[in-house]
Chain A
Amino acid sequence: MLWTTKYRPKNFKEVLGNAKAKDEISDWIDAWLIGQHPKPLLLVGPPGTGKTTLAHLIADEFADFIELNASDKRSYDILLRTVGEASASGSLFNQGLKLIILDEVDGIHGTDDRGGIRAISKIIKEGQNPMIMMANDPYSKRIKSLKSKSQVINIRKIHTNSIVALLKRICINEGVEFEEYVLRTLAKRSKGDLRSAINDLEIMARGKKNITSPDLEIISQKDEIHNIFDSVRGVLKSKNPQHIREAMRVEADPAFILELITENIPREYEKKHEIEQAYEMISQADTYLGRAFQTRNYGYWKYSYDLMSLGVALAKDETYKKFARYTNSSVYALLSKSRAKRDLRDRVADKIGEKTHSSRKIVKEQFPYLEMMFQNNDLARELADYFNLDDAEVKVFRSRKIPKKKKTKQSSGEKKDKTSKKPVKKSKKVKSNKENKDKELKSTKKKIEKDNPENKVESKGKSKSAATTKTTKKPDKSSGGRLARKDKTPLDKSEDDPEDLNSKKENGDKQTSLFNF
């Protein structure tokens, strides 16, 4: 058995420190036991200070309990069901009281666990069951709304002396001889985290007769894992290398930290040359990341870390004394917004690549040309056929569906036929489109003039010819569009629907994005 389990307090008395908190908790339990329904408890405090221990001790006072880790998405279904059952079974006084323990409520993920906070709020409102929630970060935005609905109890760090006393007791109990100094050092290093102090002691002392100061070397200084935004803040707000190194102790993918620092540089730095210099460091840091990935030599990461932290930090003339609101990178929002579109493009590129013996990347480089080819109905039909693209996939290249084949098939070579027949057939539509045509004519002229100003004089005549061929095509498209709309089957609709859903989801993302970090 791990020592942390073995020496876990068996009752409230054994719990170290936090006398006031313990009193409040006792009162709360008593209130439930005499049939009142007080607000749920929210235990807030750093790790290793006894929140879980307290919760379990509280659980002993009730008939039954259910413990859920709030960062687990599925727990809310379970939660709601359990709560439903508990209230449905009806309470025979206190016998039926089922305690709900929700750990890490500040770890509720903004997007994955959408509705999580809402589910909790709902349960609180019903107030049928005693509930305890635990959180590490008292300032977390995610628990803001919960704080007002519950009784907040702050669990403080354990005093070093108390930790030393407990460590001593453990040593005596385990038959380990010790130097007072060693235990004191361990306690200090733990920074009030009792669990880590006991863990460290166990690593040092288990199966040994005595522990001495050299044993301390086994255990490295406790690494404080920071919130990633603390790292960003540390880099942008400080010029002190010590602070910055400390701030960069964070468990995250270097590419992600790089992205977040990058995102917030212009939010903190104001002078142009600072932004430029900071970005120069970012660029070099990214180059080392690339080298690390390409060569699989992850030793390059250290340069990347130093450049993105110290390099960026020292790019500013002086630290800014202002409040800058840091945000997550807009790239992630853009990525999730465009995911469906990008997936579609990839799928189309793969289909085309199969036929043209080229990679996704090469095919995508040809997309602009394909886009232009797809503007021609005949060619579009041919290409869609050739690449085996369905209507949804064709949308990558043209907004409108390709009209169905006309009865009289015209080969691309019969130019004369086309020009002589069409205007007669579609004369009405041509007239109605006259205004559009004129606009188009002007715009193409302008465009050509803009693109190559040298050719201004020459292009006028020629662009006209280009425009006239366009206008003969135009009626085709509009009639095709109508046809297409008529032809729309329920199947097409269902293909469109996911997109709508996605867009709705995105809105949801926006709303919950506040909770993200």
Chain B
Amino acid sequence: MNGPWVEKYRPQTLDEIVGQDHIIQRLKRYVVEGSMPNLMFTGPAGVGKTTTALALAKTVLGEYWRQNFLELNASDARGIDTVRKDIKNFCRLKSVGAPFRLIFLDEVDNMTKDAQHALRREMEMYTKTSSFILSCNYSSKIIDPIQSRCAIFRFTPIKGHQIIKRLKKIADSENIQTTPSALESIVYFAEGDMRRAVNILQASSTIDKEITEESVHEVVSKAKPRDVRKIINKALEGNFMEARDQLREVMVVQGTSGEDMITQIYQEVSKMAMEGLIEEDAYVDLIENIGKFDYRIREGSNPRIQLEALLTKFLLKGKE
């Protein structure tokens, strides 16, 4: 069974991992020594945090890695109590056929502070038998006591040429032709995110057996949140209610995230400024506001309300 390429071509060993060379080298030393502190992997999405954790687990734990490895997603709606119970049940047993047991907790930065404190107690309780790997996007959202108990590894976005190399390898195995410009544009849209890069490649391959820049563009434009230009135009025309209704439709019914929406709004506004549809002064003002609301979306409680507020900024910028 082949499945999605992101899984089919996920690196299985530390050596296979793309980018992050300095991190891999240090991790290999743990493998040699056979012991490991608690680790924290920080960095944006799609740069190899989970892949590295999985590969490390296989290397350190050896043949019986599955029995001694627990993967948990901290941010999903399961609540800290379930997570704690799972950890407890797992850590109570001694490792069999491996030097210790390994727990991988994903997206720890989305846990509340209380939950993080609870996690910290679990980490202390089982230091003798188990080791933790935590992953997060922003280490700043992790409480200090946890940070101080972990060796922190900062994963960086994957470089363009490294992505291209990997994509070429996948394309070769899949017997697919790619043009250099197609790969370049995948790199451009992936923004250092390997998961996205591979997904764009596979989606493009369903359009055409030879992947061209155009097929990549088609995929990317289809993947964008829809109707953003329409929403902006409604707001610029001063028709706030309609703009708001459409925004709600896109976000609530289609389930587009606030982050995706604001990225798209930024891109559309830039494009509109290029096309002369927005005055220069207004453009600078709007960008300032988009940046401000990008920040507030992350800080605030309701991304949709923040975006509605951003739309009101367009009300005053329309050409009369």
Contact = CB atoms under 8 A, between A and B. Distances in A.
Interface stretch (A378-386, A433-441, A498-506): A378-386
Contacts of B191: none
| Residue from A283, A356, A365, A413 having most chain B Cβ neighbours under 10 A | A283
A366 B175 CA distance: 24
Contact of B296 (A283, A330, A373): A283
A471 to B, nearest CB: 13
Interface stretch (A210-218, A317-325, A336-344): A336-344
A342 B255 contact: yes
Contacts of B1: 382, 385-386
B296 A287 contact: yes
B234 interface: no
A372 B203 contact: yes
Contacts of A412: 174-175
Nearest to B298: A290
B283 interface: no
A235 to B, nearest CB: 16
Interface in B154-210: 174-175, 195-196, 199-200, 202-203, 206-210
A266 interface: yes
A368 B199 CA distance: 10
B212 interface: yes
B300 A366 contact: no
Contacts of B76: 350, 353, 359-360
Interface stretch (A18-26, A150-158, A291-299): A291-299
Interface string B268-286: 0000000000000000000
Given A283-B296, A287-B299, A276 B218 contact: no
Contacts of A294: 112-113, 299
Contacts of A291: 299
B249 A372 contact: no
B45 interface: yes
A335 interface: yes
B209 A331 contact: no
A366 B257 contact: no
A96 B236 CA distance: 70
Nearest to B260: A365
B12 interface: no
Contacts of B218: 444, 447-448, 451, 466
Given A334-B253, A372-B223, A386-B4, A266 B299 contact: no
Contacts of A409: none
B4 A383 contact: yes
Interface in B81-134: 106-107, 112-114
Q: Dominant SS at the B interface?
A: helix
Given A266-B240, A289-B301, A448-B214, A345 B200 contact: no
B257 A364 contact: yes
A293 B299 CA distance: 10
Nearest to A292: B301
Nearest to B114: A296
Range of interface residues on A (Cβ < 8 Å): 35 or more
Given A259-B305, A356-B7, A372-B222, A334 B315 contact: no
A334 B252 contact: yes
A255 B306 CA distance: 13
Given A255-B301, A355-B7, A412-B175, A280 B309 contact: yes
Interface in A74-130: none
B266 interface: no
Contacts of A359: 73, 75-76, 106-107
B244 A296 contact: no
A375 B206 contact: yes
B113 A295 contact: yes
Interface stretch (A32-40, A172-180, A457-465, A489-497): A457-465
Contact of B206 (A341, A365, A372): A372
B63 interface: no
A373 B54 contact: no
A62 B11 CA distance: 82
Given A283-B305, A338-B252, A338-B253, A459 B214 contact: yes
Interface string B1-33: 111101100000000000000000000000000
B214 A275 contact: no
A362 B107 CA distance: 10
B148 interface: no
Interface string B24-59: 000000000000000000000100001000100000
A296 B112 CA distance: 8
Contact of A356 (B6, B175, B196, B202): B6
Nearest to B306: A283
Interface in A345-400: 345, 350, 353, 355-362, 364-366, 368-373, 375-376, 379, 382-383, 385-387
A412 to B, nearest CB: 7
Contact of A266 (B75, B244, B252, B305): B244
B316 interface: yes
Nearest to B223: A368
A366 B3 contact: no
B300 A290 contact: yes
Question: 9 shortest A-B CB distances, which residue pairs?
Answer: A368-B223, A386-B3, A283-B309, A290-B300, A290-B301, A369-B199, A372-B203, A279-B309, A289-B301
Interface of B: 1-4, 6-7, 45, 50, 54, 71, 73, 75-77, 106-107, 112-114, 174-175, 195-196, 199-200, 202-203, 206-210, 212-215, 217-219, 221-224, 238, 240-241, 244-245, 248-249, 252-253, 255, 257, 260, 293, 296, 299-302, 304-306, 308-310, 312-313, 315-316
28 contacts: A255-B301, A262-B308, A275-B240, A276-B313, A276-B316, A282-B309, A283-B293, A283-B309, A286-B309, A331-B252, A338-B252, A355-B7, A359-B73, A359-B75, A359-B106, A360-B77, A362-B45, A365-B260, A366-B199, A369-B202, A370-B4, A371-B222, A372-B207, A373-B4, A375-B206, A386-B7, A452-B214, A462-B214
Given A283-B293, A357-B71, A370-B4, 20 more contacts: A273-B316, A275-B312, A275-B315, A286-B300, A287-B300, A289-B302, A290-B302, A330-B248, A334-B248, A334-B253, A356-B4, A358-B195, A366-B196, A368-B222, A373-B202, A415-B209, A455-B214, A462-B212, A469-B209, A470-B207
